[in-house]
Amino acid sequence: MSQSLVPAAQPPQATTGPAVGTDFPDPLVPLRGLPELPFGRLLDNPAPPAGVAHDVPGQERPGRGDPVRSTHPKANAHVHLPPNFSAFETVEQAVDLAAGAGLEVLGVNNYYDFGVYARFAHSARAQGIFPLFGVEIISLVGELQAAGVKVNDPDNPGRMYLCGKGITRFVPMPAEAQRLLQPIRDADSARMTAMIQRVAALMESSGVSTSVTAASVQATLARRYAVVPSSVYLQERHIAQAFQEALFAHVEAGERSSTLRRLLGVECTAPDDPVTVQNQIRSQLMKAGKPAYVEDSCLEADTAYALVLALGGVPCYPVLADGASPVCPFEASVDELVSSLVARRIWCAEVIPSRNATTTVDRYATELRRAGIIVLGGTEHNTLELASMTPECKGRVPVSERVAELFWEGACVVAAHQYLSAREQTGYVDAQGYLNSGFVTQDQRIAALARLGSMVIEAFRRPDGDRSAVMEPTSTTTSARTRQS
């Protein structure tokens, strides 16, 4: 575990081709249009935003009584929007559902392309929701892979999912970010193309001739989601969906069971259900050891970390915890997880609570925050299931009051970072991943940035003519949405 995620110095390279172009509007225009908020004053008086406590409220200890839905402002810091594989049919649907759920902050974390972020920002602004911009990256810690240590991927030792939160440098994208991002895009595109060719050959040998290619899948998704084809980066789920749709189009319902048996080598449990068929195409054909599997090429973890910083973001570690059984060794001890993250200069963590028991979320979130690591909550929405927009624990159990406070605090800190970074100022971390040096303690740093972030969120969500009036943080019990009504 000694490998550092400190960005490695690399020689500059020229970037060519349209794949990393910036031919879409700047999503940060509404954010840059906010008034100058008194961050300097907060440095001298870094009180936390209203309602964010620094001890665990006694009435909400894990395991004590029934869970109570939080009255704190709500934030969801992690969803995937189309053309990423997503539960949502459109960007606007995601924002509409977020507004209906009473969210004040919504964060998008797409893989490898940001073409829909301007559309997301515009829709969020219209609905009075603050947009957080992010990226999700699949990376590899070489020494952990060699040691057989699973990190936050239960199937692949050494593989580490890493997110960037509050990214701001993607329109235009700096040359360094382009240089780091393009190899991911190229390798991923090559893998998806090869995998499609293998599945198509298997379909052909099973008696189903299709015209599915990487280009055809991209074109279909571009039409479906009203985006340009160059913004579509294929994922395994896209491929499985494309072949399921082709199979259903070419094979009559009465013949699907036998066709799928020949294709998959096992009985399909629900041959007329699209989602079941998609899942079995993935699990029986596309996973490691299966006939259409193609080895993926992940970025080294230090390069992924460098990419997040080059995009102006905050490196963030997604915690899987008991979302895997058994828990991945890297995460099995919260104390050791904290030590590993701090050693890698990762000062932000994220939980997708729907994967976890309530007690697990309480324990990890509380211990991470106690160690000075801010905590976010999200839902992903990276399958076809249109689940709740509010982060909830397994079984749709609400998160505890303490965790709701921490999720809101974390969202406020990232909002402040995004606001400051968009103005070329240092936010939560600097360009090398070090914490903002303008504070004596980490608690002071988090408190000041959370307070600024709550003011940024409030200002963004107000009508244009009323933004300059925002000088105090959002109350945790009375949302801006309520005050505007």
Q: Would you say residue 295 lies in a domain?
A: no
Same domain, yes or no: 267 and 375: no
Give the Cα separation of 427 and 413 in Å (integer): 9
Same domain, yes or no: 447 and 345: yes
Q: Would you say residue 35 lies in a domain?
A: no
10-residue block means of pLDDT along the chain (485 residues)? 30 30 68 79 58 39 42 92 93 96 97 92 94 96 96 93 97 93 92 97 95 95 91 94 96 96 95 96 93 91 97 98 96 97 98 97 98 97 92 96 97 97 96 96 96 95 62 41 35
Same domain, yes or no: 143 and 231: no
Q: Would you say residue 203 lies in a domain?
A: yes
Give the Cα separation of 420 and 414 in Å (integer): 10
Q: Would you say residue 323 lies in a domain?
A: yes
Number of domains in the chain: 2
Q: Would you say residue 191 lies in a domain?
A: yes
Closest to 243 (Cα-Cα) out of 189, 285, 289: 285
Confidence at residue 25, expressed as pLDDT on a 0 to 100 scale: 72
Cis ω for the linkage preceding 12 (within 30 of 0):
no
Quote the domain boundaries for residue 338: 73-172+311-484
Please say which residue of 246, 271, 286 terminates a domain. 286
Q: Would you say residue 467 lies in a domain?
A: yes
Same domain, yes or no: 434 and 339: yes
Same domain, yes or no: 400 and 473: yes
Residue 317 belongs to a domain with what CATH number? 3.20.20.140
Same domain, yes or no: 320 and 459: yes
Same domain, yes or no: 269 and 317: no
Rounded to the nearest 10 degrees, what angle do helices 175-205 and 236-250 cross at? 30
Same domain, yes or no: 346 and 464: yes
Q: Would you say residue 18 lies in a domain?
A: no
Confidence at residue 463, expressed as pLDDT on a 0 to 100 scale: 66
Residue bearing tokens 């699949």: 138
Give the Cα separation of 377 and 371 in Å (integer): 17
Same domain, yes or no: 234 and 354: no
**Which residues face 380 on adjacent strands?**
79
Same domain, yes or no: 167 and 225: no
Same domain, yes or no: 166 and 91: yes
Q: Would you say residue 370 lies in a domain?
A: yes
Confidence at residue 26, expressed as pLDDT on a 0 to 100 scale: 84
Please say which residue of 286, 319, 342 terminates a domain. 286
Instruction: Go through 74-93 and write b for each residue having 16 or more CB atoms within 10 A of its CB, e for each that does not.
Output: bbbbbbbbbbbbbbbebbbb
Same domain, yes or no: 228 and 265: yes
Confidence at residue 337, expressed as pLDDT on a 0 to 100 scale: 98
Please say which residue of 251, 286, 321 terminates a domain. 286
Tokens representing residue 348 in the block = 């932000």
